Amino acid sequence: MEGLGKLSCSMEKKDLKIINKGEDEEMELQGYCLCPWRLVLVGLGVLCTGGFLLLLLYWMPQWCVKFTCTRTTARDAEVVLMRSTDEFRTWFMARVQIMLAPGRNPFHSLETQTTSPFSSPASSMANGHNPHPSSDGPAQELIKRFADYQPVQIRYFCFHSSTYYWNDELQNFEVLIGVEDLRVSCSTLHLEHSAGLTRDQQEYRKLFFGVNEISVKVPSIFKLLIKEVLNPFYIFQLFSVILWTVDEYYYYAMAIVIMSVISIATSLYTVKKQYVMLHDMVAAHSIVRVSVCRNNNDIEEVLSTDLVPGDLLVIPSNGTIMPCDAVLVSGTCIVNESMLTGESVPVTKTNLPNPVSGERLEVTDDVYSTEEHKRHTLFCGTHIIQTRYYTDELVKAVVVRTGFSTAKGQLVRSILYPKPTDFKLYRDAYFFLLCLVGVAGIGFIYSIAFSVMNEVPAKTIIIESLDIITITVPPALPAALTAGIVYAQRRLKHLGIFCISPQRINICGQINLVCFDKTGTLTEDGLDLWGVQRVENGSFHLSEENAYKETLVKSQFVACMATCHSLTKIEGQLSGDPLDLKMFEATGWIMEEATEEETALHNHIMPTVFRPPKQLLPPEPAVSPEQDMELYELSSAYEIGIVRQFPFSSSLQRMTVVARLLGEKRMDAYMKGAPEMVASLCKRETVPENFAEVLEGYTKQGFRVIAMAHRRLESKLTWHKVQNINRDNIEANMDFLGLIIMQNKLKTETSGVLHDLHRAQIRTVMVTGDNMLTAISVARDCGMIPSEDTIIIADAIPPYNGQAAKITWRYADKPSKMPQMEEVNISLEDVCNVDELKTQPLYHFAMNGKSFSIIEEHFPDMLQKLVLRGTVFARMAPDQKTQLIEALQGVDYFVAMCGDGANDCGALKRAHGGISLSELEASVASPFTSRTPNISCVPNLIREGRAALITSFCVFKYMALYSIIQYISVTLLYSILSNLGDFQFLFIDIAIILLIVFTMSLNPAGEELVSRRPPSGLISGQLLCSVLTQILICLGFQAMTFFLVQQQTWYTVWTPLTDVCNQSSHNLSEHNETELDDHNIQNFENTSLFFVSCFQYLIVAIVFSKGKPFRQPTYKNWPFVVSVLGLYFFLLFIMFHHTEIIAEIVCVPFDWRVKLFFIILVNATVSVLMETFILDIVLWKLVFSRDKQGSFGLTPATPRPQVGIDRQDFNCLSWLCCRKKTPPKARYMHLAQELSVDPDWPPKPTTTTEAKPHPENGSTCQFLNIS
């Protein structure tokens, strides 16, 4: 049997498939077959449990599959069970369906297809789209049309808007993307895929790829309602309401129902509104009529929903919204990609280079990829503004991706199916509820046992025992917690911050690191031309303010400024990159673009022409009567026409244009780009010897520097040759022309906000696509890096020629002052080792995107330590920004990302709190969007997050105490076979609890961002001590009251005839007719406990409703103050003046009322002193202080107000903590502690670290990281 068990286990592991390997949606997959007898048993179980088992299986999909199915291979599965491989380990299930098709491979031609299983490269299917192959109509038509081919069964399942097909070759489920599945080269794409598809091929491929539509279905109200109502909390509320109704406790049941209905309605409205907004965003222009070329050169107009990968799309000249991803194979397009990048700057897209179209192979024949060839790819959802084309050739593009596989589709999928939010508060909340359930279980057993011993009727035993559970686990808890979030969301809205993910507000209260984009976030969007510095004969001229001069109008430097850009005219207005715009405007030149009519008159595209203003040109000699006027104008005109443009590439860091001066036979090439890159492509003798020093001087001052270069091309290069030549042949042996210096000013709010964050010990990091030295300069200017701190640049080199990867360390510059010594605070971990403490100079790491990727791949341990002091990350690509966020989260930082939407989408979504400063579509996935276009929103969000988090703690603690206080009262009363009455329950639950809960959440956020953070979870020492001490206090005073009342001389078992308030017998006859209390509600214990417990609810409300430092003082929350005072006066009134407002209260002697008042007064004093003095002052500051970030010196540029600890507290700390050293929980604290005593850290300048090919202990490098 043991052998069979091991065999079964090994079979399960062997058949475990991994789908989407290496991607964000990587999952483990297991196959199952439906089992009839298990289905029958589950059906019986559902009937026997009244449907509860069905609910359980709905909440736990893994149980549902394992209870109803048996294991089988993935190939034969009817149901697949999937589990994510991330830290959340979430379960999913899907039904496998079967489709009949004429063939297995969508890319095979039906005319040449055989019935054998496909084995082409296309069988390597990969991620993302949503076909609709379930309707057999089209499939049956194709099968009939191609009756010679035997139909084959194709197994698939749909999950998260993607369809996974079974691949026989890989023996796994995979997803089809599109043309990229074929891994075709650029030349093959031109030769084999640019002729278009036949109608049959299009219909055949549509079976696999489905309808080309990003369909966001807005669920019906009924579906949303069912999903919301089946939440475990609402099911528990339903159970409570039914129980209370049976117990004739109608009023509170009705109140809970009303609250639940309001909560559900609010949630449904919010969710429905978000779905509608997303649907409207996606649906706009999603279905349009497009023109496609069939393989017989016919142009056919079809709906965009019919497009499939491989279709040849004709781009209209008047522009359109792209309905798919397509690669240009002819012509040029000007595109607005703001939907994807957040930048509304038009981008020029050129046709994909065809290596074999020229006379020789001049272009490397790379495999086509949308990422690598994005300058030639038109993305779905982007706006085509203009097209340029040949007379006899239309602008054409081959469809490469459709539906959810497109760039826009992937963005929508990330919004529809976001990663779960992992936050300790929510995990602790469930654990805390389980503890309450455990307490309820004890009461449940006690109630049953005591009732059975006293021969209580069975119905009463059941109701009262179950009632203990509803008392201990408060059904109003979800509504109470939601109230605080709703109030915070409303306050954020008043501050101009809009939130689409309210649960993230609490998480923002824990943020201790903020990443900032630079351009448009820390600095202004626009650039100003500060000056130019020309080069002649290999040496720099003095810098000049501008180039708008008569002496320079015909210089190559000005010609380069006027022509080397990607500007275009849209409706008569110049449009394009702000840098290009400023540079061109500084020349004063005029740009003229050819119209469509002019283009049609020529054999090729009419060039865009640039010419200087007439006032800058030298005066012209008078024309003699003999001269031909037209010839004279031609000879005197100074115009430059663009022959070809090589667009700017971030990977190449440059752009180039080929231009021709009117009347000249030879052409000129002009280049601009990153100075280091441009200089490397120029003749050495034309680059000044002091080039590096001059460049460094500008970049250190925070200027953005652009270099210019020129080359006179050979006369043999004709127009046609230039159109096909590789840019590498042009961009070589250039003459260096000089530098353009642009100024990017800091926003006025930047320095102040960063100072506030540093003072609050919140780390700040810059992540930008800009130049390294410019980024460092801006970091110094804005205070992110103080002028006295050292900056260490990590330059990583990938492995080559058998040598390991290396990191070279160098200092960016010398600090302006002596390095500040970092004082390491004495923390709980340090107090017993004072001698080991050392001071270290403050330092920061900086690196570029290329180095970041190399370090991430070859030095993973090093990366963890570098991010502890990494402050500047330059030249970072969008995916690298996301990876940086993940690396920071990997060492337990709570990370916020603030960007203007430009290439920040992935990072904004991945961060704990993503704040977009742009209201464009690119920020639709960002949890927060600020209407104020500066970083002042960041401290506001953190303050509100902290206030919301503290409010959640207060509410949770208060609801827990409310439950326990009531539980204690009921348990004590059960011991005398009594209980609280319906009106007493009603008064407590509605008049006190609901009123207090909904007003105590109204405290606004504190005005100052303090240096300590609130706890991240409920299971923390300070919070647990707070709750437990208050529980013990309440228990003690209630028990004392309960037993004390029984010791009073006047005490007797209460009956309707009892009158301890007035011993005269004149009114006894009135009581004779009073009916006996069947439930024994009215008694002295009940009345005494009711008064004491009611005041306890108010006492703990005041004790828990804390103000400073995270919220404003409680007295400023006037609704709460009015509610508490009103309830105090009302309770005192009914206690000292007996009234029948609450019918179950009985009259007690006045001296006992006075004693009760003193008991309540002492209770309040003890509770307040315990919470405010013992916990807040002694334990919080000396034991539970968790803001250890300062203790490890992790906050650069922080004016540390709490550096170290006072000497007078040292002995106390030692006594409290030295007996048991507690290591820090956060990974970054642990690493910092290790590195604070590492003598080899930080790395010394000019040293090199090599990756170890075979690490001994799992580490990949010699050096480790940060102090």
**Contact call for residues 1155 and 1125 (beta carbons, < 8 A):** no
**What distance in Å separates the CA atoms of residue 1256 and residue 1244, rounded to the nearest whole number?**
24
Following DSSP, what letter does each residue of 947-1006 receive, concatenated? HHHHHHHHHHHHHHHHHHHHHHHHHHHHTTT----HHHHHIIIIIIIIHHHHHHTTPPBP
**Contact call for residues 265 and 167 (beta carbons, < 8 A):** no
Using DSSP's 3-state secondary structure scheme, residue 282 falls into helix
Which residues are CB-contacts of 1036 (< 8 A; sequence separation ≥ 6)? none
Tokens of 223: 């579906």
Using DSSP's 3-state secondary structure scheme, residue 265 falls into helix
**What distance in Å separates the CA atoms of residue 212 and residue 406, rounded to the nearest whole number?**
10
Q: What angle do CA 1153, 1154, 1157 make, to 5 degrees?
A: 90
**Contact call for residues 969 and 984 (beta carbons, < 8 A):** no
For CA atoms 1015, 1020, 1025, 1028, the dihedral sign is positive
Which residues are CB-contacts of 1009 (< 8 A; sequence separation ≥ 6)? 756, 757, 759, 760, 762, 939, 942, 943
Using DSSP's 3-state secondary structure scheme, residue 746 falls into strand
**What distance in Å separates the CA atoms of residue 162 and residue 164, rounded to the nearest whole number?**
6
Residue with the two structure tokens 């925070």: 702
Which residues are CB-contacts of 741 (< 8 A; sequence separation ≥ 6)? 529, 530, 531, 532, 533, 543, 698, 703, 704, 705
**What distance in Å separates the CA atoms of residue 522 and residue 529, rounded to the nearest whole number?**
19
Which residues are CB-contacts of 19 (< 8 A; sequence separation ≥ 6)? 26, 27, 29, 82, 164, 172, 173, 174
**What distance in Å separates the CA atoms of residue 542 and residue 400, rounded to the nearest whole number?**
52
Following DSSP, what letter does each residue of 19-55 receive, concatenated? ESTTSTT-EEEEEEEE-HHHHHHHHHHHHHTTTHHHH
Q: Which residues pair with 645 in a beta bridge?
A: 657
Nearest to 954 by CA among 1111, 1187, 1161, 1096: 1111
Tokens of 491: 């306050």
Using DSSP's 3-state secondary structure scheme, residue 183 falls into coil
- Which of 181, 247, 311, 517 is catalytic? The answer is 517
| CB burial string 1145-1160: b at 16+ within 10 A, e below | bbbbbeebbebbeebb
**What distance in Å separates the CA atoms of residue 937 and residue 855, rounded to the nearest whole number?**
33
Tokens of 721: 């040759």
For CA atoms 212, 218, 224, 228, the dihedral sign is positive
Active site residue 517: yes
**Contact call for residues 884 and 868 (beta carbons, < 8 A):** no
Tokens of 486: 């709703």
Cα Dmax for the chain = 141
Compute the CA torsion angle 325, 330, 333, 337 (nearest 10 deg). 20
**Residue 296 neighbours by CB distance under 10 Å:** 8
Q: Catalytic site residues?
A: 517
